[in-house]
């Protein structure tokens, strides 16, 4: 009898483990290939998202009360700094408008209707974040009903933050750039060298210790100045061109055949995201 029970427990454990492995394999496959998750996943996610909005409300209220107090204390100092910048902003706006007009005219002359830089926006707020060190994922409040597409680039108010990995009806998951994961879809980016040529590469990794993105797969040997802006190149995939990723922090030249790596200070803060924008390329 004793032996029988031992066997039964062993069988249950083994079956549990096998089912678990199968589920993991299945969900990674869905995540990498298919456009929408299965019905069960999508239904469960929509239901969970709905409940989460209710549960999250008081916590967010407490947090925003704290944030407003901190804002209030900083306001005077900030105001003085901003005053100095306001004048130059007005001038820049005027220049921008002129340039945009000129750009539109030139495009018309070339009969160029669509370009890589054009995209439409969907604004969403962040409902939740995975309580996990290994998946830097947030859940946002818009899904396929609002037109979010899997693989779209997502921006915060300051710059690129990540990519949509799963779309449900009323919410979707965004994998942040700070995720270090073999299967994540890397962004094609570009940066201007000192000589003026454009260097293309991919965001290949993230450095946890220094909070910097690493740009790899670079073939060019041109020198890059510190502080140069890095933007998405729009090559391949669904990312629009010209989204700000960050600024060059340092360049690590590979000797002995190793490729060059460029370390980038990200423009966006990956831990302070309340509103995000999903971009949809128009072509």
Site string for other proteins, 43-82 (x = CB under 8 A): -xx--xx-xx--xx--xx-xx-------------------
**Interface with other proteins (CB under 8 A), residue from 114, 121, 180, 250:** 180
**Interface with other proteins (CB under 8 A), residue from 6, 8, 16, 151:** 16
Beta strands in 65-143 (DSSP E): 119-129, 137-140
Residue 133 interacts with other proteins (CB under 8 A)? Answer: yes
Nearer to other proteins by Cβ, of 54 and 91: the residue is: 54
Residue 259 interacts with other proteins (CB under 8 A)? Answer: no
DSSP 8-class letter at 124: E
Residue 211 interacts with other proteins (CB under 8 A)? Answer: yes
Which residue in 270, 262, 272 sits closest to 163, CA to CA?
270
The length of the chain in residues reads: 283
Site string for other proteins, 18-37 (x = CB under 8 A): -xxxxxx-xxx--x-----x
Which residue in 218, 222, 216, 230 sits closest to 264, CA to CA?
230
Phi, psi dihedrals of residue 54, rounded to the nearest 5°: -70, -50
Nearer to other proteins by Cβ, of 61 and 89: the residue is: 61
**Interface with other proteins (CB under 8 A), residue from 79, 109, 209, 219:** 209
All residues at 6 or more sequence positions from 35 whose CB lies less than 8 Å from its CB, including other chains: 150, 167
Site string for other proteins, 113-132 (x = CB under 8 A): -------------xxxxxxx
Nearest approach, Cβ of 201 to other proteins (angstroms)?
A: 20
Whole-number Cα distances in Å, 161 to 18, 64, 164, 167:
36, 22, 10, 17
Whole-number Cα distances in Å, 155 to 45, 74, 123, 245:
23, 26, 10, 9
**Interface with other proteins (CB under 8 A), residue from 41, 115, 200, 204:** 41
**Interface with other proteins (CB under 8 A), residue from 17, 73, 106, 235:** 17
Cα–Cα–Cα angle for 171, 175, 178, rounded to 5 degrees: 150
Distance in Å from the first CA to the final CA of the chain = 69
Nearer to other proteins by Cβ, of 70 and 112: the residue is: 70
Site string for other proteins, 136-175 (x = CB under 8 A): xxxx-------------------------xx------x--
Whole-number Cα distances in Å, 146 to 48, 121, 128:
18, 11, 18
Site residues, other proteins (CB under 8 A): 16-17, 19-24, 26-28, 31, 37, 41, 44-45, 48-49, 51-52, 55-56, 59-60, 62-63, 126-139, 165-166, 173, 179-183, 208-211, 269-273
């Amino acid at each position: 009898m004793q032996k029988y029970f031992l066997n039964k427990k062993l069988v249950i454990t083994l079956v549990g483990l096998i089912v678990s492995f199968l589920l993991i394999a299945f969900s990674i496959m869905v995540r990498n290939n298919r456009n929408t998750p299965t019905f069960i996943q999508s239904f469960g996610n929509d239901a969970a998202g709905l409940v989460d909005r209710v549960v999250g409300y008081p916590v967010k209220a407490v947090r925003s009360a704290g944030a407003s107090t901190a804002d209030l204390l900083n306001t005077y100092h900030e105001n003085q700094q901003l005053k100095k910048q306001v004048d130059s902003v007005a001038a820049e706006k005027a220049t921008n408008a002129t340039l945009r007009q000129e750009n539109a005219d030139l495009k018309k002359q070339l009969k160029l209707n669509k370009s890589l830089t054009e995209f439409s926006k969907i604004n969403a707020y962040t409902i939740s974040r995975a309580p996990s060190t290994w998946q830097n994922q947030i859940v946002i409040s818009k899904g396929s009903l609002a037109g979010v597409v899997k693989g779209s680039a997502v921006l915060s108010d300051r710059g690129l933050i990540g990519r949509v990995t799963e779309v449900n009806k009323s919410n979707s998951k965004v994998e942040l750039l700070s995720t270090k994961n073999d299967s994540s879809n890397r962004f094609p980016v570009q940066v201007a060298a000192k000589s003026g040529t454009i260097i293309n590469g991919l965001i290949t990794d993230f450095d946890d210790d220094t909070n910097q993105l690493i740009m790899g797969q670079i073939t060019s040997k041109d020198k890059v100045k510190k502080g140069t802006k890095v933007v998405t190149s729009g090559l391949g995939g669904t990312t629009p061109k010209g989204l700000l990723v960050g600024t060059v922090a340092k360049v690590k030249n590979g000797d002995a055949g190793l490729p060059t790596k460029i370390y980038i200070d990200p423009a966006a803060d990956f831990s302070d995201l309340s509103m995000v924008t999903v971009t949809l390329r128009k072509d």
